[in-house]
Structure formats: structure tokens, C-alpha cells
Amino acid sequence: MEAPAVLLVMGVSGSGKSTVGALLASKLGWKFYDADDYHSEENRMKMGKGIPLTDQRRGLGTACRSSLFSPEENVQRHLDTRKK
């Protein structure tokens, strides 16, 4: 059996998904993409305050409209703009 090319960590809010994902990526030598980075600023502010997102706000459409599903250079461009 081949090793997986992608690993998806899922869980409820505050369960440590980002921590586990970052540690796994580091250990495996993989790139780590945090889905929180692909939400709008408004959603990130709500999540930071512990306000749950509605189904509409956290839906697959949010992720599909992001550069996460685009070529890698678009992902990097998105991450670079988040640093500004």
C-alpha cells in the first residue's frame, strides 16, 4: 500500500487540529495548510471570539472559493497576502 499524499485532520472547534496538523507536517516533512487561513477576516474574528460559524459561513463553498484548491503557486500567494 502506498503512503497517503494528503492527510486531513478534522474535529470540533478548539480540539487542537491546527496543533496536531502542524506537528504531523513537521514530523513527515510535509507542507501544512490550516483551513482557518482560508476563512474571511470576519469569520476568523468570530472564531477568535468563540462565536460559532453558521453552516453557510463554514460550508465547503468557503473552501472551494479559496486558493487551497488551486495550483500551489496560488496557495503560496494567498499565504503571502495573509502575512501583510
Residue 58: which pLDDT band, with cuts at 50, 70 and 90?
low
Reported as a single tens digit per residue, the pLDDT across 1-53 is 787 778 888 888 788 999 999 999 999 999 898 888 877 888 888 888 888 87
The string over 30-43, giving b where at least 16 C-beta atoms fall within 10 Å of a residue's C-beta and e elsewhere, is eeebebeebbeeeb
What is the H or E stretch that residue 48 is in? helix 41-48
| Distance from C-alpha of 58 to C-alpha of 51, rounded to nearest angstrom | 12
Q: What is the pLDDT of residue 42?
A: 87
Enter the pTM of the model. Answer: 0.58
Q: What is the pLDDT of residue 20?
A: 95
Pick from 48, 29, 32: which is nearest to 40 by CA? 48
Helices (H), 6-83: 17-28, 41-48, 60-64, 72-82
